DNA sequence: CTTTCTGCAAAGGTTTTGCAGATTT
DNA sequence: AAATCTGCAAAACCTTTGCAGAAAG
């Protein structure tokens, strides 16, 4: 119990700092949303996913706020977003480790991977056209063999 | 003039055959939509793009029909679709040559490319996880250097 | 006290759908 | 004649926005 309390307190301080350094006021909705993103077993969440996770945790935060906050977090660099082909935009914490995604077409499960060689080849392709890469999206749609 | 007429007639036969072999009835809206996709200088078109191109050509075909037809064409394998990060879904003719895309973040221009080595590495990554690739999406967002 | 935030409800933009009449086969 | 298609208008989605009161700094 004791350790649990300390953990939560540390968490909140940690999140408050993240918010402050992003130039955002520290509010309950923002802390709760950050918590969901940090603790959810599924790392890639849509606005709707966050809304429902909060509801299950007993926090009824309006969808409008969630959309606004997720966008602010993305602008601040706390989150990244991806548009998978199923049409939904998902957000994930920016942990500083660049990676790409495999999405299981049967279960929707998302697996992260990173391949340095693919990255290098991408830059070569852009170079060859006299272009500079500002971002990229690589998604493999997969199923169990 | 003569050759122009013959060309148009050949085109229509060609398109009718494509429709028939897709199991779709040959109707004017479908032929016109195929024509746009085959002759437009921009190969990657949204439903709205097709709608406007048709209007400019004097054909007022309802957006509902365009959405329906594009989806049917995709199901039939005549088209492929992509969701670029700007949010709009675009369609392009399936010419049988697989390729990936670079999208210019300044102009929206789409450049196609193909890199066999990247393809190979993708399969290696999936293999390593015991997965099979059913499709993939690779988009490089670029700008002039 | 000023600035920023939140919830609500309304509006926006895109895509889908039910239906009745038109067209294709 | 039967099956399929089209246009229209309405609905369904997802996301954004204006506003007024609430909270943070």
- Return the closest nucleotide (C1') to the Cα of B29: D6
In whole angstroms, give the CA distance from residue A45 to residue A36: 9
Task: Retrieve residue B121's tokens.
Answer: 């590495």
Instruction: Give the model's pLDDT for residue B1.
Output: 53
Higher-pLDDT residue of A26, A2: A26
Contact A104 B144 (CB under 8 A): no
Question: Are the CB atoms for A95 and A104 separated by under 8 Å?
Answer: no
Instruction: Give the model's pLDDT for residue B127.
Output: 97
Whether A109 has a pLDDT exceeding 90, the answer reads no
Whether A71 has a pLDDT exceeding 70, the answer reads yes
Q: Which residues of A touch B113 (CB under 8 A)?
A: 125, 129
Strands of chain A (E only): list them.
79-83, 89-93, 100-104, 110-113, 131-144
Residue nearest to nucleotide C9 (CA to C1'): A64
Instruction: Give the model's pLDDT for residue A1.
Output: 53
Q: The whole model's pTM is what?
A: 0.88
For chain B, which ranges sit under pLDDT 50?
none
Mean pLDDT, to the nearest integer, of A33-56? 96
- At B89 the three-state DSSP class reads strand
Instruction: Give the model's pLDDT for residue A106.
Output: 82
CA of B46 and C1' of C17: distance in angstroms? 20
Q: With b meaning 16 or more CB within 10 Å and e meaning fewer, what string describes A64-82?
A: eebeebbebbeeeebbbbb
Residue nearest to nucleotide C16 (CA to C1'): B64
Q: Is the CB of B17 under 7 A from strand C?
A: no
Contact B121 A122 (CB under 8 A): no
Q: Is the CB of B52 under 7 A from strand C?
A: no
Find how far residue B78's CA is from the centre of its chain: 8
Whether A34 has a pLDDT exceeding 90, the answer reads yes
Q: Is the CB of B122 under 7 A from strand C?
A: no
Question: Are the CB atoms for A89 and A61 separated by under 8 Å?
Answer: no
Name the minimum distance, in Å, from the CA of B85 to any CA of chain A. Answer: 6
């Amino acid at each position: 119990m004791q350790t649990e309390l300390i953990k939560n307190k540390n968490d909140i301080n940690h999140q408050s700092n993240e918010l402050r350094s992003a130039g955002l006021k520290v509010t309950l909705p923002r802390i709760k949303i950050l918590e969901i993103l940090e603790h959810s077993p599924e790392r890639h969440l849509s606005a709707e996913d966050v809304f429902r996770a909060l509801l299950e945790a007993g926090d009824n935060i309006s969808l409008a706020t969630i959309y606004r906050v997720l966008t602010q977090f993305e602008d601040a660099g706390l989150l990244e977003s991806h548009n998978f082909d199923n049409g939904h935009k998902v957000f994930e914490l920016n942990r500083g480790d660049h990676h790409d995604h495999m999405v299981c077409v049967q279960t929707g499960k998302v697996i992260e991977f990173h391949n340095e060689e693919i990255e290098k080849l991408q830059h070569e392709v852009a170079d060859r056209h006299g272009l500079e890469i500002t971002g990229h999206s690589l998604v493999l749609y997969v199923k169990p063999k």
